[in-house]
Amino acid sequence: MTAPDASTLLAVLEATWPAHARRRQGPWTLRDGRGGGKRASAATAAAPVCAADLPDAEAAMRTGGAAPLFMIHEGAEALDALLAGAGYEVIDPVVIYAAPLQALAMDAPSPTASFHIWEPLAIQREIWAEGGIGPARVAVMERVQGDKTALFGRKAGRAAAAGFAAIEGNTAMVHALEVRPDFRRQGVARALMLEAARWAMGRGARHLAVVCTEGNIGARGLYASLGLQTAGRYHYRQHPSGAATP
């Protein structure tokens, strides 16, 4: 069994970390993330675009109170070149990892290391907030439709980590994996990834996926050690002027 392709995983990403609202305007898909992060806020091209189309997207995003931000996935090289020519810079290159659940290197579960629950407990929200995952991003989790769960990890009897997982189609995707500094590099993130895998198997999913920035070497090493493989990449482009007024 092979992992889903990049286009399928991008659809899973959108369904499991959704914008507050999205709409089509000309060739663009515009998103209102309501503080839910770049993946819930970036515009994408739903059809071929040219330089004359760019001002409309920029104006629409600024009218909504956001800096123009575009997500560039594989196959959108023409848009990437257009934005580069307009002075937009690459930010946050991202790697998509995925694997069939049956292919993962599964450790024997510890009865106290991790569990899952929905809705999130106060301590899970606290851990997320410590890592910069505040109420606006928790709101993204809350608006996900379908199967979802909040992951919780312990170490030495102490609250150590939190995460979120949701299923779209037959693929479960992990988001918002946050480990408290005192517990990093101690197997806590691995325990939560495997908790997500066991939960997903119980819900009938066939694949597990996760995304992380290229620069997150520790996370990338973890995902590779579990048997997850690179299944796609994307990045964002933002103008150096940032949130300039319209």
Mean pLDDT of 70-94: 96
Structure tokens at 33: 């993330």
Gap between the Cα atoms of 39 and 235, Å rounded? 10
Are 84 and 175 in the same domain?
no
Are 176 and 197 in the same domain?
yes
Are 43 and 23 in the same domain?
yes
Q: Enter the pTM of the model.
A: 0.94
Mean pLDDT of 155-174: 97
pLDDT attached to residue 114? 87
Place of tokens 């290159």: 93
Are 103 and 217 in the same domain?
yes
**Chain-wide mean pLDDT for the chain?**
94
Question: Could you tell me the residue range of the domain that residue 26 belongs to?
Answer: 6-95+234-238
- How crowded is residue 241: how many other Cβ atoms within 10 Å of its Cβ? 11
Whether 246 is in a domain gets the answer no
- Which residues sit opposite 230 in a β-bridge? 97
Whether 18 is in a domain gets the answer yes
The answer on pLDDT for 153 being more than 90 is yes
Are 76 and 108 in the same domain?
no
Number of domains in the chain: 2
The answer on pLDDT for 244 being more than 60 is no
Are 203 and 151 in the same domain?
yes
pLDDT attached to residue 111? 67
* Cβ-proximal residues to 198 (8 Å cutoff; 6+ apart), any chain: 106, 109
Nearest to 98 by CA among 180, 3, 240, 185: 3
Whether 245 is in a domain gets the answer no
pLDDT band at 220 (very low <50, low <70, confident <90, very high): very high
The answer on pLDDT for 246 being more than 80 is no
Stated as kind and residue range, the H or E segment containing 138 is: helix 135-142
* Cβ-proximal residues to 127 (8 Å cutoff; 6+ apart), any chain: 159, 161, 162, 178, 180
3-state secondary structure of 6: helix
Are 32 and 137 in the same domain?
no
Mean pLDDT of 24-51: 96
Whether 1 is in a domain gets the answer no
Gap between the Cα atoms of 197 and 73, Å rounded? 26
Are 45 and 88 in the same domain?
yes
The percentage of residues in the chain with a pLDDT greater than 70, rounded to a whole number, is: 97
Are 140 and 192 in the same domain?
yes
One-letter amino acid of 163: G
**CATH code for the domain of 135:** 3.40.630.30
Nearest to 190 by CA among 73, 104, 123, 126: 104
Are 105 and 227 in the same domain?
yes
SS (H, E, C) 55-99: HHHHHHHHHCCCCCEEEEECCCHHHHHHHHHCCCEEEEEEEEEEE
pLDDT band at 126 (very low <50, low <70, confident <90, very high): very high
Contact 165, 173 (CB under 8 A): yes
pLDDT band at 110 (very low <50, low <70, confident <90, very high): confident
Contact 127, 159 (CB under 8 A): yes
- Top pLDDT among 194 and 242 is at 194
Structure tokens at 203: 């819900």
- How crowded is residue 45: how many other Cβ atoms within 10 Å of its Cβ? 22
Mean pLDDT of 181-200: 95
Whether 244 is in a domain gets the answer no
Are 107 and 221 in the same domain?
yes
| Phi, psi dihedral angles at 60 (to 5 degrees) | -65, -40
Mean pLDDT of 196-219: 97
Whether 243 is in a domain gets the answer no
pLDDT band at 112 (very low <50, low <70, confident <90, very high): low
